[in-house]
């Protein structure tokens, strides 16, 4: 709900429908995980994940409350939205990898792929209802109250974390040395070719292909001439697809590179069709398909990275993963917004689809080389 309110606030109240401004917001909100990879990874590997999550959720709640108060008092400016987006990005640099690893502590490694898929289903179920409710709330009460509601929701999360039975958690190993930072982590990844190629594919698709707030908002306003309600509905249709994609992945026992290549290729095909679809109804259907494919790709990548990483390195490797997943997407966000402003939202979405094709090509070439190497070795 807050994401929808924030994008709508920037598009309709603080700018003249600027896709570039939305892209900058994404860059500020999701860029810090890249800059803080080394420090955040070491912190996550050292501290108690449950306690860390309590602190990060508390600070995220404060940012939501403060942003809501500024909007309700009509004292908000675009620069303050930029500031809060940057603060959320800094907090998320620690929150996101800790949250992903904490799933392992809840269920253990044997159930991790299924748990990650179920976690994605729950997350996207919220995304299904959230945007639609946000559209109604924005129309009736304005953006400010959406931020206040989001702040209140963190209270429930914090209470839940404090009530967990700590003696039943599957505690992960922690590294004793504090000197092994980003260089050591990258060296570790380099020694695992399949892990490295999966992260490269995530970088390619994530940098430009996953900027959906830019694509959906600009398509809603500039192509289909819709309002906040249509924006919420289109975002919800994508969440429907994400839930279906999560259910599909939940039935997979172990993640594999072939599934990543196939989902990237289909992302290219469906995204290319969605870019030029004439009707908002069919566009919504295409968004649902893109949501499913994105969920399959990202959840499979997450499982693959965690299961192929040693427990004592998991925090730092997952910091790299989240840095790419959350941080590299905003690198392409300003460009995505710029293409939408200069050419059209349709061209912007088409270029996003091309990133899926490139990721699939990279994965396919790597797989063929590995197969050729194994054949020659035999």
Measured CA distances, 33 to 30, 36, 38, 44 (Å): 6, 5, 9, 13
DSSP 210: T
Q: Is the pLDDT of residue 53 over 90?
A: yes
Give how many domains the chain has, as a whole number. 1
121: CATH:
1.20.1250.20
171 lies in some domain: no
Find the length of the chain. Answer: 378
Share of the chain above pLDDT 70, in %: 90
101 lies in some domain: yes
Of 127 and 161, the structure prediction assigns the larger pLDDT to 161
Q: Is the pLDDT of residue 223 over 70?
A: yes
Q: Is the pLDDT of residue 141 over 90?
A: no
173 lies in some domain: no
Task: Give the pLDDT band of residue 237 (cuts 50, 70, 90).
Answer: confident
Residue 109's region, left for phi above 0, alpha for psi from -120 to 50, else beta, is alpha
The CB density around residue 276, as the number of other CB atoms within 10 Å, is 11
Q: Tell me how far apart the alpha carbons of residues 184 and 186 are, in angstroms, rounded to a whole number.
A: 6
> What range does the domain containing 11 cover?
2-163+181-377
Task: Give the pLDDT band of residue 326 (cuts 50, 70, 90).
Answer: low
DSSP 171: P
Task: Give the pLDDT band of residue 125 (cuts 50, 70, 90).
Answer: low
45 lies in some domain: yes
174 lies in some domain: no
Q: Is the pLDDT of residue 319 over 70?
A: yes
Q: Tell me how far apart the alpha carbons of residues 324 and 318 are, in angstroms, rounded to a whole number.
A: 10
Task: Give the pLDDT band of residue 276 (cuts 50, 70, 90).
Answer: very high
Q: What is the pTM of this model?
A: 0.69
122 lies in some domain: yes
Nearest to 206 by CA among 246, 157, 264: 264
Of 105 and 172, the structure prediction assigns the larger pLDDT to 105
Give the per-residue pLDDT at 264: 92
End-to-end CA distance of the chain: 55
The mean predicted confidence, pLDDT, of the chain is 82
170 lies in some domain: no
> Looking at residues 41-46, what average pLDDT do you find?
78
169 lies in some domain: no
Residue 120, SS3 per DSSP: helix
Window from 135-139, 160-164, 278-282, 372-376 with minimum mean pLDDT: 372-376
Q: Is the pLDDT of residue 128 over 70?
A: no
């Amino acid at each position: 709900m807050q994401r929808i309110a924030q994008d709508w606030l920037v598009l309709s109240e603080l700018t003249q429908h600027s896709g570039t401004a939305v892209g900058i917001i994404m860059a500020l909100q999701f860029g810090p995980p890249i800059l803080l990879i080394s420090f955040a990874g070491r912190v996550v590997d050292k501290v108690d994940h449950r306690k860390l999550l309590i602190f990060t959720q508390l600070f995220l709640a404060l940012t939501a409350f403060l942003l809501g108060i500024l909007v309700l008092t009509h004292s908000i400016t675009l620069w303050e939205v930029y500031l809060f987006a940057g603060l959320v990005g800094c907090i998320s640099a620690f929150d996101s990898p800790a949250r992903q690893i904490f799933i392992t502590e809840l269920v253990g490694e044997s159930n991790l792929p299924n748990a990650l898929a179920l976690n994605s289903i729950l997350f996207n179920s919220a995304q299904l209802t959230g945007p639609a409710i946000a559209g109604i709330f924005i129309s009736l009460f304005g953006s400010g109250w959406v931020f206040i509601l989001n702040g209140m929701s963190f209270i429930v999360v914090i209470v839940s974390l404090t009530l967990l039975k700590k003696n039943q958690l599957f505690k992960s190993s922690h590294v004793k040395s504090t000197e092994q930072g980003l260089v050591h982590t990258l060296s570790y990844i380099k020694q695992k070719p399949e892990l490295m190629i999966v992260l490269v594919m995530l970088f390619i698709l994530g940098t430009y292909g996953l900027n959906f707030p830019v694509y959906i908002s600009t398509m809603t306003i500039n192509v289909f001439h819709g309002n906040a309600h249509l924006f919420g509905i289109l975002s919800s249709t994508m969440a429907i697809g994400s839930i279906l994609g999560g259910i599909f992945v939940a039935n997979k026992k172990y993640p594999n590179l072939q599934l990543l290549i196939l989902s990237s290729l289909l992302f290219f095909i469906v995204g290319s069709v969605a870019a030029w679809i004439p009707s908002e109804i069919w566009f919504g259907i295409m968004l649902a398909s893109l949501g499913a494919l994105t969920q399959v790709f990202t959840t499979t990548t997450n499982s693959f990275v965690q299961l192929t990483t040693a427990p004592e390195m998991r925090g730092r490797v997952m910091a790299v993963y989240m840095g790419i997943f959350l941080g590299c997407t905003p690198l392409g966000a300003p460009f995505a917004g710029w293409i939408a402003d200069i050419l059209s939202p349709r061209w912007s979405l088409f270029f996003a689809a091309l990133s899926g094709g490139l990721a699939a090509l990279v994965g396919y070439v790597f797989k063929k080389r590995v197969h050729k190497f194994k054949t020659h070795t035999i």
